[in-house]
């Protein structure tokens, strides 16, 4: 798939997620669910930071970072933080509805829109992930 087509698809997908969240606020005249946008935008950041740190780190005296399938403690902690953000992004509209601060329709729209935004960010990372060249003889 052409990179331009990927960007167009992902931007339309992202716009639909933002539209759902903004509709959950505007249709019910209550702007409390807008916080969901910020939670789902911040959610993938710990994993991105951990992957960039771990990919640039070399093992002692081997000049490689081949750890197999064993995640490091930093990667585990960042996955936990990302999971906490995702769960709180879903739980916040449920809690707001439970306390009668937003209506049921606003809750459904904000959860759906937030998940669409998060999935779009994950798809963007997956589509544009660079593969390492194994043809390099010096492994630098």
Residue 133 above 80 pLDDT? Answer: no
Dihedral angle at the C-alpha atoms of 87, 90, 93, 96, nearest 10 degrees?
A: -30
Q: Does 134 fall in a domain? A: no
Q: Does 74 fall in a domain? A: yes
Domain with 51, as residue range(s), is 3-59+67-127
The pLDDT assigned to 70 comes to 77
Is residue 65 within 8 A of residue 55, CB to CB? The reply is: yes
The pLDDT assigned to 46 comes to 94
Is residue 129 within 8 A of residue 23, CB to CB? The reply is: no
Q: How many domains are there within the chain? A: 1
Band of pLDDT at residue 120, cut at 50, 70 and 90: very high
Q: Does 138 fall in a domain? A: no
pTM metric for this prediction: 0.80
Average pLDDT value for residue range 87-98: 96
Q: Does 135 fall in a domain? A: no
Pull the structure tokens for residue 9.
């698809």
Share of the chain above pLDDT 70, in %: 83
Q: Does 133 fall in a domain? A: no
Q: Does 39 fall in a domain? A: yes
């Amino acid at each position: 798939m052409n990179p331009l087509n990927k960007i167009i698809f992902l931007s339309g997908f992202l716009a639909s997620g933002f539209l759902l969240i903004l509709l959950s606020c505007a249709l019910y005249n209550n702007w409390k669910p807008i916080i969901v946008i910020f939670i789902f935008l911040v959610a993938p950041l710990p994993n991105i930071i951990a992957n960039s740190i771990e990919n640039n780190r070399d093992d002692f005296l081997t000049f490689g970072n081949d750890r197999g399938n064993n995640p490091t403690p930093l990667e585990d902690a960042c996955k936990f933080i990302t999971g906490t953000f995702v769960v709180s992004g879903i739980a916040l509209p449920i809690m707001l509805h439970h306390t009668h601060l937003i209506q049921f329709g606003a809750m459904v729209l904000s959860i759906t829109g937030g998940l669409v935004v998060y999935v779009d960010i994950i798809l963007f990372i997956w589509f544009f992930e660079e593969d390492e060249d194994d043809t390099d003889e010096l492994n630098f």
